[in-house]
Amino acid sequence: MPAEIPPVIVWFRRDLRLADNAALSAAVETGAPVIALFIREGSAGGGMPFGPAQAWWLHHSLLALRQALHDRGGDLLFFTGEAATVLVQVVQQTGASQIYLNRSYERDDQDRELARRLKSAGIAVHAFHGQLLHDPSHVRTGAGKPFRVFTPFWKALQALGEPREPLAAPDAIRGVSSTPPSEQLEEWGLLPTKPDWAAGFGDIWTPGEAGARVRLEDFVENGLSEYKSGRDFPARDITSRLSPHLAHGEVTPAQAWHAASGFDNGDPGQITHFRRELAWRDFNYSLLIEFPRLATDNWNTDFDGFAWSFDGALYRAWRNGLTGYPIVDAGMRQLWREGYMHNRLRMITASFLIKDLMIDWRKGEEWFRETLLDADPANNAASWQWVAGSGADASPFFRIFNPTLQGEKFDPDGDYVRRYVPELCHLDRKYIHRPFEAPDHILHKAGIALGESYPRPIVEHGTARERALAAYKATK
Ligand code: FAD
């Protein structure tokens, strides 16, 4: 009788998919039985811990992944603890000696350390590429250094050619006859209960690989043809909304890149523009790899002496969407209601917190990390530093958005505001972004009592702008 082949372990992390999953495909190709597992590492884990909004997503995404593995003959096991300890235990219980994983670039250092520890216990770790368009160590300046400016990064990335063709999902996965005892996902308490503030998420989002596929196909069919001209207008909803799926690795950027090729309306500019945005994500990862403290420390240390001021009431007004600036409030309420915010609004609301309220960008980064379903260690940190002006290839601090003009430019009819700030829904186009300037009879007709049903501006933008510029000058 042939000897039983020892099983191999596939360690799922932020790569909750079967298709274009190089680690899973390689594990299946060995012909060995596969033990697929997910480890709840907590804040001691190598990567950024999942925030409360993402915990909701994670729960549903893991359910979807487990079902997809079941359908092919496999299973998904759940463990809590320090990754190396858990993995060694599973190895001891099962006789496996090989671990397959996809690199999650921000934790490459921890993974290397983990591989060293496991190697000394006789366990081999096989790490694969796929979470980014290209391996960041291949996108380098002529001097072999990482880029700090996006445009040359983008040129260098394009010069590498297309990302590799996505891999198909394995048809069948050979399971193991007996598995070590798994924790119950349902007992992890990832879902909010009292109150269930995520109640509306399920109407909007379908976590999991199948949901990601539908979202991508829908975008290629209905959004991509207008992406370049329409992506800045939040009421039009034409961006892909793939970000939570990308953040959990339910779809790869290579899949999104190649899916875009399937679209041809004679305007390659749309495809290129979309791919360029995907490349921003690669760029931000390359910054995070170079500077792992991106979420906590100013990239540009000139900002270390910046005189931030913190006012709890102003901060709460921002978080709750009660600043008196409709476009800011609409963005913050979209975030709370949907776990998502349109990119233009992220820029406007971040600028408002940092520059109009002079609150440290780290407070904003933290709030977004807790409330965004797509919270991403690289994109969130790099983007906050970009708006603050403290980042690598950042927007200069003195570029301060006027929230009223931004609203009028990017939400000209006020439809986006009306969607998320219902108390303003009867206000017409002329005043929708400036209710504080509307005559009394107009407010009355629209059913608005300023200062009661909707707040007056918590700061006067012109004054706040001067204050911010003076603080910036003093820092320099
Ligand atoms: P699309 O326009 O359809 O773009 C497709 C994909 O390209 C996105 O899913 C995303 O992965 C990438 N992408 C698009 N725009 C950007 C960008 N400006 N920077 C980096 N990657 C981009 N994105 C996150 O994924 N997670 C975050 O935590 C996050 N925090 C942000 C915080 C601030 C203050 C700002 C200004 C931006 C932040 N972004 C973040 C970037 C961007 O807003 C989102 O990626 C985008 O809005 C997601 O919507 P979409 O999937 O419809 O994007």
Residue ID of nearest Cα to ligand 1 atom 21: 281
Task: Return the amino acid letter for 319.
Answer: R
Is the CB of residue 34 below 6 angstroms from any atom belonging to ligand 1? no
Check 82, 226, 277, 370 and give the catalytic one.
277
Check 257, 361, 367, 386 and give the catalytic one.
361
Residue ID of nearest Cα to ligand 1 atom 23: 379
Check 308, 336, 366, 370 and give the catalytic one.
308
pLDDT of residue 97: 86
The count of other CB atoms within 10 Å of the CB of residue 466 is 12
Is the CB of residue 383 below 6 angstroms from any atom belonging to ligand 1? yes
pLDDT of residue 195: 85
Residue ID of nearest Cα to ligand 1 atom 32: 380
Q: Closest Cα to residue 63, out of 207, 241, 176, 174?
A: 207
pLDDT of residue 48: 54
Q: Is the pTM of this model over 0.75?
A: yes
In the DSSP assignment, the letter for residue 187 is G
User: Which atom of ligand 1 is nearest the CA belonging to 349?
Assistant: 34
Residue ID of nearest Cα to ligand 1 atom 16: 277
Q: The tokens of 367 are what?
A: 């709030």
Is the CB of residue 367 below 6 angstroms from any atom belonging to ligand 1? no
Residue ID of nearest Cα to ligand 1 atom 3: 240
361 is an active site residue: yes
CA 144 – ligand 1 centroid, Å: 27
In angstroms, the CA 377 to CA 111 distance is 16
pLDDT of residue 153: 98
pLDDT of residue 109: 86
Is the CB of residue 277 below 6 angstroms from any atom belonging to ligand 1? yes
User: Which atom of ligand 1 is nearest the CA belonging to 375?
Assistant: 28
308 is an active site residue: yes
Q: Closest Cα to residue 467, out of 307, 346, 316?
A: 307
Check 82, 336, 343, 366 and give the catalytic one.
343
CA 241 – ligand 1 centroid, Å: 9
∠ CA 414-418-422, rounded to 5°: 155
To 10 degrees, the CA torsion angle through 286, 363, 278, 141?
-20
Residue ID of nearest Cα to ligand 1 atom 9: 243
The CA–CA distances, whole Å, from 184 to 59, 66, 79, 191, 309 equal: 11, 12, 9, 14, 45
Is the CB of residue 363 below 6 angstroms from any atom belonging to ligand 1? no
pLDDT of residue 132: 98
From first to last of the 476 residues of the chain, give the pLDDT tens digit.
456 789 999 999 999 999 999 999 999 999 999 999 999 997 544 555 678 999 999 999 999 999 999 999 999 999 999 999 999 999 999 999 899 999 999 888 889 999 998 998 899 999 999 999 999 999 999 999 999 999 999 999 999 999 999 999 999 999 998 888 999 999 999 999 888 899 999 999 999 999 999 999 999 999 999 999 999 999 999 999 999 999 999 999 999 999 998 776 667 788 999 999 999 999 999 999 999 999 999 999 999 999 999 999 999 999 999 999 999 999 999 999 999 999 999 999 999 999 999 999 999 999 999 999 999 999 999 999 999 999 998 889 999 999 999 999 999 999 999 999 999 999 999 999 999 999 999 999 999 999 999 999 999 999 999 999 999 999 87
pLDDT of residue 267: 74
pLDDT of residue 265: 65
Residue 11, helix vs strand vs coil: strand
pLDDT of residue 62: 98
Is the CB of residue 350 below 6 angstroms from any atom belonging to ligand 1? yes
Is the CB of residue 99 below 6 angstroms from any atom belonging to ligand 1? no
280 is an active site residue: yes
**Burial of 148 (C-beta count, 10 Å sphere; 0-12/13-18/19+):** middle
Is the CB of residue 243 below 6 angstroms from any atom belonging to ligand 1? yes
384 is an active site residue: yes
